[in-house]
Structure 1
Amino acid sequence: MAVALWSLRRIGAALLTLTIVSILIFASVRLMPGDYLDLVLGPLATDEQRARAVLESGLDAPVASQYFAWVIGVLSGNLGYSFVSNVSVSAEFAARMPITATIALMTLIVTLILGVPLGFFSALRAGRSGGATGRVISALGVSIPEFLLAGLVVFAVSSLGLGLSIGRFSPFAEDPARFLGALVLPVSVLSFGCVAVVARSTRDAVMNVLVEPHVLAAVARGETPGFIIRHHLIRNAAAPVLTIIGALVAVLLGGTVIVEFIFDIPGLGSYLQTALGRRDYAIVQSAVLLAAVVFIVTSLVVDLVANLVDPRLRLTEGNRR
């Protein structure tokens, strides 16, 4: 019963947060400097042309009516039409989202395969040469911005070749090998920072568990290192690692904006980049809302899973209240 009530509170908080975020997104997009009518019609448009464009785009309605119409459309799967190209936003998202999702998924897989073991290795060898190497790699990954690393990669590939190519994207249905090959560089750039963050978080979580009394007692009992890692370290260090991984899932959607633009990948990120330049409200607010939904839902799922793995988190929260 306590778990059910706790879960319901978490779900309610997530829904409230999503509602507030949707209002902020809707308002922020309309407060952006510039007017999309100037971009679409140009400075020489007549008042009649501007009035007709406003009427066709629905911008003549009260702001509150525009917001509720947008929310109803989103809930029904209708994200509206681009103000600039008059193309269905839902159709564009459906075509581009698989590309961005593939980049994010591949990055997440690489991050888990490399980041978690590197964090464990660095924590277990703290004070030795191997642990120092892990810390240096983590520090470099966290310090180098994605746009700088992507620029360096583009320069290296353009200058040295290295058997890789940029700007040769092809849909998976037409050429699967070319599709995956075009994603190697973007995934590598995104993975560099993500691996560093996960490795550092895993290292900190494991080192915090290593000084717990039950771990010290296990060492005193003469239990083998493998047994201690499997039965004491992994589960107790899992909650903070799951939290940071959940946050990375949402961050990856934002990170793809940079790498998709630099590596000329026609995903959701590059689509949002173009829409921002055009002040295309329908695309911008829907894309940002999608990122917010992914972040909030992922955080909710991570909270639920983490508290199942480690009930102490739920008990700690209850004690604070």
Structure 2
Amino acid sequence: MRVLLWWSGRLLSGAATLAGVSVLIFVAVRLMPGSFAETILGPFATSGQKDALAARYGLDEPVFLQYWHWLAAVGQGDFGFSMISRQPVSAELRARLPVTAEISGLAVVVAVLAGVPLGVLTAVRARPGGGGAAGRLFSGLGVSVPEFVLGSLVVFLFSRYSLGLKTGGYVPFGEDPAGNVRSLVLPALVLSVFAVSAVARTTRDAALGVLIEPYVTAAVARGASPWSIVRHHVLRNAAPPVVTLTATIAAYLLGGALIVEYVFNLPGIGSYTVQAIGRRDYAVVQACVLLTAAVFIVMNVLVDLAVRLIDPRLGGEVAAR
């Protein structure tokens, strides 16, 4: 019964968070310097022209009425129309979501396949002279190097020397599977550098905490090999923080890899959001931010479930709170 109550509270908390985000973003976009009318009509437009454009899009109504109309439409799955392209925002999101989902999925896969082994290896060799310094150095560099710097460098190198991979544009998978992969490999790798470093560092810290536990000492005393200890004791017990971080990174990337999409000229959610902010396209900004918040909330709930399955002890502690 306590578990059911906890999950009910978790869902209610997520719904309340999403509602709060909707209010904040709705108000925030209207507080940005430069209104939609000023952005579209320019600085020399008359007040009459600005008022007419605002009335055309319902921007002359009180803010709380605008919010209520928008919220009622979102409740029916209607995110409105882009004030620039006059296209339904839902259709634009459906067209752009596969791009962001593909590069984010590839980046997460690379992060797990590279970051977890690197973190475990660094933890096992953490003793002086054990060779873990190289792993720590890579993690530190990966976390600290900005994505726009790395992305710009990659674009320059692959454009200048024609190394065989595309550095811009997007090819749908249905049109050309091989071209789709070539167009996404570089942005996915650039996007994964930070993720690999973060996963490796978290895995290292979690594994070091497990390696000092008494049951690991007992396994060593029984003569178990190091990698047998890693497989049977370290990986599962170090998994909860790694799973939590990986899910958070996945939610962040799915919400829109703004810089990478912009640098590589990819028509994803991130670049769509940046363009909408510059144009003061309120409906688009609101929908993109709300989608990002929803992804974070859903991923957090799934992480709680995954951690409970991996380690029932943690699930019991969570349910008791």
In structure 2, how many angstroms separate the alpha carbons of the residues matched to 1:177 and 1:258?
A: 24
- Distance in 2 (alpha carbons) for counterparts of 1:61 and 1:80: 16
1:181 positional shift: 0.9
Which AA in structure 1 matches 2:152? G
Identity %: 51
SS at match of 1:172: coil
Residue of structure 2 in register with 1:263 after alignment: 264
What amino acid maps onto 1:95 in structure 2? A
Bigger drift between 219-228 and 91-100 goes to 219-228
Q: Deviations over 1:275-315 (max 9, x none)?
A: 11101111111111111111111011102211232233345
2:158 equivalent in structure 1? 157
CA–CA separation in structure 2 for the residues paired with 1:64 and 1:213: 59
| Aligned partners of 1:168 and 1:178 also within 8 Å | no
Are 2:255 and 2:269, in contact at CA under 8 Å, matched by a contact in 1? no
Aligned CA RMSD, in angstroms, stands at 1.9
Describe the SS at the equivalent of 1:130.
Answer: coil
5 Å-filtered alignment, 1:293-308, equals: 293-308=294-309
Residues 226-265 of structure 1, C-alpha deviations (whole Å, 9 max, x = no match): 4432332122111100110011012214562111111111
1:67 and 2:56 matched: no
Deviation sequence 1:34-62 (CA, Å, 0-9, x none): 11111112234344433332222121222
2:131 alignment partner, SS class: helix
Distance change >3 Å, CA 281–CA 228, structure 1 → 2? same
Residue in 2 that maps onto 1:231: 232
Equivalent residue for 2:273? 272
Deviations 1:54-79 (A, max 9, x none): 22212122212222222222222211
**Structure 2 CA distance for aligned equivalents of residues 315 and 88 of structure 1:** 45
Q: Distance in 1 between matches of 2:163 and 2:185?
A: 12
After superposition, give the CA deviation of every residue in 1:87-116 in whole Å (9 maximum; x if it has no partner). Answer: 111111111111111111111111111111
- What is aligned with 2:96? 96
The residue number in structure 2 matching 1:133 is 134
Judging changes above 3 Å, is the alpha-carbon distance between structure 1 residues 267 and 255 closer, same or farther for their aligned structure 2 residues?
closer
Q: Is 1:39 matched with 2:39?
A: yes
Aligned residue for 2:257, secondary structure, equals helix
Q: Are residues 240 and 216 of structure 1, via their aligned partners in 2, closer, same or farther at CA, if it must alter by over 3 Å?
A: same
Amino acid at match of 1:162: L
- 2: CA distance, partners of 1:151 / 1:278: 25
Mapped pair 1:206 → 2:213: no
Cα 1:140–1:120 shift into 2, 3 Å: same
Matched AA of 1:14: G
Cα distance between partner residues in 1 of 2:170 and 2:101? 15
Aligned to 1:281: 282
1:10 equivalent in structure 2: 10
Taking the aligned partners of 1:210 and 1:103, their CA distance within structure 2 comes to 35
Aligned partner of 1:293: which letter? Answer: A
Normalised TM-score (structure 2):
0.93
Using the alignment, how far apart are the partners of 2:91 and 2:319 within structure 1?
Answer: 45
Q: Which amino acid aligns with 2:286?
A: Q
Deviation at 1:153, TM superposition (A): 1.0
Q: Report deviation, 1:224.
A: 3.8
